[in-house]
Chain A
Amino acid sequence: MDNIAGRKSGLSWAVNLSVVLLVALWLFPTVGLLVSSFRTADQISASGWWKALFPSEQVVQLRTGGAEAATQEGDLWVVEGNLLEEAEEGPEPGTEITRFGVSSKAVDAYAVGEVASFTKDTKTFTMDAAGNYRFTSTKELKKRGQRVFITATLPPEFTLANYDQVLFSGNSNDSMAKAFLNTLTVTIPATIIPIVIAAFAAYALAWMEFPGRALLIAAVVGLLVVPLQLALIPLLKLHLNIGIGKGYLGVWLAHTGFGLPLAIYLLRNYMSGLPRDIIENAKVDGATDFQIFTKIILPLSFPALASFAIFQFLWTWNDLLVAKVFLIDSTGNTTVMTNQIVELLGTRGGNWEILATAAFVSISVPLLVFFAMQRYLVRGLLAGSVK
């Protein structure tokens, strides 16, 4: 459109640049959460997540050998060795150390090669950039070695420990495993049941003649925008009165009710666009409405069914309000992930490693569905809003 007669728009680079900026701006917050979920609590509070992607200068605490590693030289007990090689975890041997310290109050007090002094003037400590150290003391050494803080530029480091903690630890406060299962239990029936009910209703509204049809369609369009806030108290009362109470059945029914208008609307629009000839031919051949529906309409409506299924899945998976009102009772056994995260926000507001991981576990499934079935989602959106 813009390069009529071979004239390329001179704004092309500006357009590319603005799109890059826009996409970056939109991705940045999510990436932050993803990166944070792979960092330890210490790492998260020590530096912003955007710094985690690059090598950074960090302080690490290590220990020298203890009493059994000591040898006696005259009056002195001496421990010699290599900090990096002896350490079970921490920086790789070969890392270049720039500074060190022996007290947590001054973790980078000395450059490598200098001799550290202690408050009690009985000990000395020195080390080189490769981690080879010499620790001396005039008294017999304790069993545990001396604490040493080293400063070095370390490559980015990530851990799966948070996911382990959140998914498999069984710690009832942090665990998302149960909430994950509960969410699935809510979501799957709450997605399938409205589709079945809506498909039949949509067929009737699209292809059957009966009095009151137009009125019903108008009612469905009207109900499309009724805020579900109105339904909370009356339905909770109803559920308590007829004995459903708070539980899965209630939340399935509620999601079914709230999802139906959109389902009927989308499916009716799609079905009424199917070619009339097919249906009339089938009728001439003696097919009943039920056969026409199951053998012709349903297979042909697959795109619309998929669109709605994705909507309803995302909506029920991401829902907080309906679950809070109709499902979660005081025991908290039936908590869903969104609710679990809100509770984590309250109890562990500062523990970003847990929060970020829990949130990412919860949004990973919708994201997978989104990227796998984006085509149907877009189609559904277009059918739902543009007439």
Chain B
Amino acid sequence: MSPALLGLVTIVVGVGGCLGYFYLSNLFLDKVLFPARGPNAGRNINRANMVRPWLFLGPAIVALGLYLGYPVFETLRLSLTDRTQDDAFVGLANYQQMFAEPKFWEAMRNNMLWLIVVPAASTAFGLLAAQLTDRIKWGSIAKSLIFMPMAISFVGASVIFKLVYDARPAGNEQIGILNAVWMQFDGGFGSILFLKVAPILILAAFAAIVAYVGWLLLRPVLNGKDNIILKALRATSGLVSLYIAVIALRNIFDIIGMDFPYGQPQTWLTLPFYNNFFLMVVLIWIQTGFAMVILSAALRGIPEETVEAAIVDGANPFQIFFKIKVPQIMPTIVVVWTTITLVVLKVFDIVFAMTNGQWETQVLANYMYDKLFRANDWGVGSASAIIIMLLVSPILIWNVVQARKEMR
């Protein structure tokens, strides 16, 4: 049978089966098991209503349990056993083996870089785009164009950006836009302006913002009113921010001292360390639209009075944006940030299609795929999946706590 026909039959059978299940099971419940007539009609109706929710939920619970619940525990078990020794329990041996691999630490380091850069950049660009497009007439068109990459697959986006990063040998016409631009730089005034001054300014601004956030986080610790856990949390995240700021500052000096190979076409994806950023650009390009749509809705939800009051008090547009609007949409920014963080933690297709983890671009999800399906090492593969789960779990717990709070 041709796949298309098979698909059609499955749609009919699957969907019909689902609907049939729901219809027939309800019919059975109401007419046969607990009919709403005879001497026990009242009792039967109550009983039927007790059973019915489970009829409605049944397929969903089975599917969720089997496809998401069970694998968590099974993966945990697999990560503690060795397939080559008949699934014998080997304790933490898989984890030890994994921690001894440089490739794993490379993946961890890159994932951390992704975790810092992609959510931050996507949210920042999204906020910028949301704020700017809300104020112009053709804003909705601009929005849907920036939002468009959301519909493009990671693989499609990888092809798109491979063309952008394409390199031809020196002397040939460059067909990748990035190299075509790069070849315009010759070490003159323009080069210094764009390749030294501009990045330094951006890095300095980034360092300043991160340091400021770090200070905001640390200040209450010094004043000391919170409980000890909150203090510790603030202290660690504050120190991490300061550390990132220091790294950014150090990079400024690197840039000042750097000699750029002008006139040499660059194979961007093979430049160690920097190629990570070229891969991140792809995800930022995709996720900015998402951030923009959500933040734009949040910006519109801000009560006008607060903005009007600020204008009356003589605030300039920048003050209105940073001191009036941003604080009011902070919860939404957090939601956007965490959602993109989740995407980043699972990022696989982009790295797989563009570099496949070569040239020091490995990330956890691709590392796991390598272990599972190339090296056929289920133990280490499962162990790395558990690491991804551990990284996700703070967000999971936070979401559940928030959801429960809301239901009350």
On chain B, the residues within 8 Å of A50 by CB distance are 177, 180
Give chain B's interface residue range (CB within 8 Å of chain A).
35 or more
The answer, among B353, B389, B406, for a CB contact under 8 Å with A226, is B389
In the bound assembly, the distance between CA atoms of A309 and B37 in angstroms comes to: 40
The answer, among B142, B160, B400, for a CB contact under 8 Å with A30, is B160
On chain A, the residues within 8 Å of B258 by CB distance are none
- B345 interface hit (Cβ, 8 Å): yes
On chain B, the residues within 8 Å of A290 by CB distance are 22-23, 26
- B229 interface hit (Cβ, 8 Å): no
User: Closest residue to B329 on the A side, CB-wise?
Assistant: A386
The answer, among A1, A23, A256, A355, for a CB contact under 8 Å with B67, is A256
The answer to whether B74 touches A208, judged by C-beta atoms less than 8 angstroms apart, is no
The answer to whether B64 touches A257, judged by C-beta atoms less than 8 angstroms apart, is yes
On chain B, the residues within 8 Å of A26 by CB distance are 145-146, 148-149, 285, 288-289
B343-368 contact mask (Cβ, 8 Å, vs A): 1 or 0: 00110110011000000000001001
Within 8 A of B (CB), among A202-218: 203-205, 208-210, 213-214, 216-218
In the bound assembly, the distance between CA atoms of A47 and B166 in angstroms comes to: 12
In the bound assembly, the distance between CA atoms of A352 and B163 in angstroms comes to: 8
On chain B, the residues within 8 Å of A232 by CB distance are 71, 372, 385
- B230 interface hit (Cβ, 8 Å): no
On chain A, the residues within 8 Å of B336 by CB distance are 385
The answer, among A27, A45, A201, A338, for a CB contact under 8 Å with B56, is A201
Minimum distance in angstroms from A353 CB to a CB of chain B: 11
The answer, among A16, A224, A359, for a CB contact under 8 Å with B136, is A16
Max chain B Cβ within 10 angstroms of own Cβ: one of A197, A221, A229, A371? A229
On chain B, the residues within 8 Å of A49 by CB distance are 163, 175
Max chain B Cβ within 10 angstroms of own Cβ: one of A224, A231, A238, A293? A231
In the bound assembly, the distance between CA atoms of A9 and B70 in angstroms comes to: 58
On chain A, the residues within 8 Å of B18 by CB distance are 193, 196-197
- B139 interface hit (Cβ, 8 Å): yes
User: Closest residue to B388 on the A side, CB-wise?
Assistant: A227
The answer to whether B385 touches A227, judged by C-beta atoms less than 8 angstroms apart, is yes
A-B contact count (CB 8 A): 340
On chain B, the residues within 8 Å of A320 by CB distance are 153-155, 348-349, 352-353
Segment at the interface with A among B109-117, B260-268, B272-280, B303-311:
B303-311
On chain A, the residues within 8 Å of B381 by CB distance are 233
The answer to whether B180 touches A355, judged by C-beta atoms less than 8 angstroms apart, is no
The answer to whether B22 touches A342, judged by C-beta atoms less than 8 angstroms apart, is no
On chain A, the residues within 8 Å of B6 by CB distance are 185, 248
The answer to whether A264 touches B144, judged by C-beta atoms less than 8 angstroms apart, is no
A10-49 contact mask (Cβ, 8 Å, vs B): 1 or 0: 0110011011001100111110110010000000111111
- A120 interface hit (Cβ, 8 Å): no
The answer, among B68, B136, B153, B399, for a CB contact under 8 Å with A257, is B68
A188 with B57, Cβ < 8 A, contacts A19-B132, A197-B63 known: no
- B217 interface hit (Cβ, 8 Å): no
- B162 interface hit (Cβ, 8 Å): yes
The answer to whether B152 touches A366, judged by C-beta atoms less than 8 angstroms apart, is yes
Minimum distance in angstroms from A248 CB to a CB of chain B: 7
The answer to whether A381 touches B349, judged by C-beta atoms less than 8 angstroms apart, is no
The answer to whether A229 touches B11, judged by C-beta atoms less than 8 angstroms apart, is no
The answer, among A32, A184, A258, A370, for a CB contact under 8 Å with B164, is A32
The answer, among B133, B147, B151, B392, for a CB contact under 8 Å with A369, is B151
On chain A, the residues within 8 Å of B240 by CB distance are none
On chain A, the residues within 8 Å of B400 by CB distance are 218, 221-222
- B317 interface hit (Cβ, 8 Å): yes
- A230 interface hit (Cβ, 8 Å): yes
Minimum distance in angstroms from A36 CB to a CB of chain B: 7
A23 with B146, Cβ < 8 A, contacts A29-B160, A233-B372 known: yes
On chain B, the residues within 8 Å of A135 by CB distance are none
- A228 interface hit (Cβ, 8 Å): yes
- A261 interface hit (Cβ, 8 Å): yes
The answer to whether B67 touches A254, judged by C-beta atoms less than 8 angstroms apart, is yes
The answer, among A186, A234, A362, A363, for a CB contact under 8 Å with B70, is A234
The answer to whether B14 touches A252, judged by C-beta atoms less than 8 angstroms apart, is yes
In the bound assembly, the distance between CA atoms of A201 and B66 in angstroms comes to: 16
- B94 interface hit (Cβ, 8 Å): no
- B239 interface hit (Cβ, 8 Å): no
- A225 interface hit (Cβ, 8 Å): yes
On chain A, the residues within 8 Å of B353 by CB distance are 320, 341-342, 345
- B228 interface hit (Cβ, 8 Å): no
User: Closest residue to A310 on the B side, CB-wise?
Assistant: B151
The answer to whether B142 touches A22, judged by C-beta atoms less than 8 angstroms apart, is yes
- A192 interface hit (Cβ, 8 Å): yes
User: Closest residue to A4 on the B side, CB-wise?
Assistant: B311
On chain B, the residues within 8 Å of A44 by CB distance are 175
User: Closest residue to B408 on the A side, CB-wise?
Assistant: A214
Within 8 A of A (CB), among B371-408: 372-373, 378, 381-382, 385-386, 388-389, 392, 395-396, 399-400, 402-404, 406-407
Minimum distance in angstroms from A329 CB to a CB of chain B: 13
Within 8 A of A (CB), among B162-219: 162-164, 166, 168, 173-177, 180
- A314 interface hit (Cβ, 8 Å): yes
Minimum distance in angstroms from B2 CB to a CB of chain A: 8
B35-65 contact mask (Cβ, 8 Å, vs A): 1 or 0: 0000000000000011011101101110110
User: Closest residue to B381 on the A side, CB-wise?
Assistant: A233
In the bound assembly, the distance between CA atoms of A252 and B194 in angstroms comes to: 50
Within 8 A of A (CB), among B48-102: 49-50, 52-54, 56-57, 59-61, 63-64, 66-72, 74-75, 78
On chain A, the residues within 8 Å of B145 by CB distance are 23, 26-27
In the bound assembly, the distance between CA atoms of A387 and B401 in angstroms comes to: 14
The answer to whether B156 touches A359, judged by C-beta atoms less than 8 angstroms apart, is yes
- B298 interface hit (Cβ, 8 Å): yes
The answer, among A230, A256, A261, for a CB contact under 8 Å with B72, is A230
- B243 interface hit (Cβ, 8 Å): no
- Beyond A22-B132, A249-B10, A356-B163: 8 further Cβ-contacts under 8 Å? A15-B135, A48-B175, A200-B56, A248-B10, A254-B67, A318-B154, A342-B352, A362-B155
What are 15 sample pairs from A and B whose C-beta atoms fall under 8 A apart? Answer: A19-B142, A181-B3, A208-B49, A208-B52, A218-B404, A226-B68, A227-B392, A232-B385, A318-B152, A338-B155, A352-B166, A356-B163, A366-B152, A382-B297, A387-B402
Binding site for B on A (CB under 8 A): 1-2, 4, 9, 11-12, 15-16, 18-19, 22-23, 26-30, 32-33, 36, 44-50, 181-182, 184-186, 188-189, 192-193, 196-198, 200-201, 203-205, 208-210, 213-214, 216-235, 237-238, 248-249, 252-254, 256-258, 260-261, 264, 288-290, 293, 314, 317-321, 324-325, 334, 338, 341-342, 345, 352, 355-356, 358-359, 362-363, 366-367, 369-371, 374, 377-378, 381-382, 385-387
Which 9 A/B pairs are nearest by Cβ-Cβ distance?
A: A257-B67, A318-B153, A201-B60, A370-B151, A234-B74, A185-B7, A204-B56, A231-B71, A359-B159
